[in-house]
Amino acid sequence: MAVYTMLKPLLMSMPPETAHRATLNMLRLRLGPRCHFKHDALKSDMFGLHFPNPLGLAAGFDKDAEALSGLFDMGFGFVETGTVTLHPQEGNPRPRLFRDQKNKSVINCMGFPGRGLDAFAARLAAFRRKKPSVRVGANIGVNKGSEDPIADYKTCFSRLAPWASYITVNVSCPNTQGLPDLQMRDDLNRLLTEMDEVHGKTPLLLKVSPDLTHEQREDVVEVVRQQRVEGVLVSNTSHTRPDAVPEKLKEQRGGLSGQLLKDLSTQAIMDYYDMTGGDLKIVGVGGIASVDDAWEKICAGASLVQVYTGLVYQGPRLVRDILAGLVEKLEAEGLSHISDAVGLAHKKDRASKGAVA
């Protein structure tokens, strides 16, 4: 029996944050599973970086860059660590993490707890000195009540740029008051204009909410086109509460992730891909818990994908299942490389409309 199958009932019997801490401790000690799956068809080059496979770990799992070696052991092609804030902070009062096991979803209102930029930068630097060739993204945010969020982002970016493969500017966390407003056109334009002063060679990605309207997404695309942004990460958690959310969690504030987010985030990816004709690089995240889910995101337009909540319910075996499954999907479609599958749903849609016309 796989170790996770034995551990899962124990982890699920613990409060979610305790289970998460236990998992991180195991990974820090490199007691987690190892996956060495490799395949040429899954390798890609993007943002000037080489990715051994397109599956990454999403931000929020390892907020303080403390378990990076153990996470890479699991077989990820890249790991995004953070969100880090300039100063250490406690985050919101507990409980702030809730499982919806029936729907394989989670609601969290963590509020960026973490040890702050100094500790984070030191750990990331130590890791990169040992492993310069792996791909580590750093996700940056702002402290609660920050008087100058843009200055916070700039400081975090400058400090981490020498060590991060790419940096994600997180403007979509629903748990920090005022943060999502930075996605609105004028504020986003101002933020990115100022970021340009510190944006050297390290690629900058923007993480967006799945809850933006089509018009707001158009604004994001317009701004991103005018500014230097290497890609968008679609998406963060959602503040929506679909009917399936159990009554006791309906009023719970925070961001929804997992299965109940899946379609919303895929739809957002479709939308961004449609608006940009595939010119904008998209990292797809939201509810991926199987190879079918990952494939759907790639066909919708994502060049890379990430998981978080799926790992909680499926365990680490998910990484290998997705990677091996993607190779099978490519073979079944007669495609030789993962990049051929990016946006495939749009190409098929156009072909079928063409056939009808």
List residues binding ligand FMN (CB under 6 A).
58-60, 63, 83, 97, 106, 108, 110, 112, 139, 170, 173, 207, 236-237, 257-258, 261, 285-288, 307-310
Question: Shortest approach of ligand FMN to residue 157 CB, angstroms?
Answer: 15
Closer CB to ligand FMN, 98 or 163, in the complex: 98
Question: Shortest approach of ligand FMN to residue 128 CB, angstroms?
Answer: 20
Closer CB to ligand FMN, 60 or 316, in the complex: 60
Q: Is the CB of residue 318 less than 8 Å from the CB of residue 287?
A: no
Closer CB to ligand FMN, 170 or 202, in the complex: 170
Cβ burial of 336 (10 Å; 0-12, 13-18, 19+) is exposed
Report the SS3 class of residue 64. Answer: coil
Question: Shortest approach of ligand FMN to residue 313 CB, angstroms?
Answer: 10
Which residues are CB-contacts of 335 (< 8 A; sequence separation ≥ 6)? Answer: 341
**Overall residue count recorded for the chain in this entry:** 357
Residue 22: half-sphere exposure toward Cβ, Cα within 13 Å: 14
Is the bond leading into 235 cis (omega within 30 degrees of zero)? yes
Closer CB to ligand FMN, 41 or 91, in the complex: 91
- Phi, psi for residue 245 in degrees, rounded to 5: -65, 130
Strand bridging mode 255-258 / 304-307: unpaired
Report the SS3 class of residue 233. Answer: strand
Closer CB to ligand FMN, 45 or 118, in the complex: 118
Question: Shortest approach of ligand FMN to residue 256 CB, angstroms?
Answer: 8
Question: Shortest approach of ligand FMN to residue 206 CB, angstroms?
Answer: 11
Question: Shortest approach of ligand FMN to residue 327 CB, angstroms?
Answer: 21
Closer CB to ligand FMN, 93 or 334, in the complex: 93
Q: Is the CB of residue 152 less than 8 Å from the CB of residue 85?
A: yes
Which segments of the chain are extended strands (E)? Answer: 44-46, 49-51, 55-57, 78-84, 97-100, 105-108, 136-140, 166-170, 204-208, 231-234, 255-258, 281-285, 304-307
Question: Shortest approach of ligand FMN to residue 66 CB, angstroms?
Answer: 14
| CA 195 to chain CA mean position, Å | 21
Closer CB to ligand FMN, 40 or 81, in the complex: 81
Q: Report the C-alpha gap between 109 and 238 in whole angstroms.
A: 11
Q: Looking at beta carbons, which residue is closest to ligand FMN?
A: 60
Question: Shortest approach of ligand FMN to residue 357 CB, angstroms?
Answer: 37
- Compute the radius of gyration of the chain from its Cα atoms: 19
Closer CB to ligand FMN, 180 or 258, in the complex: 258
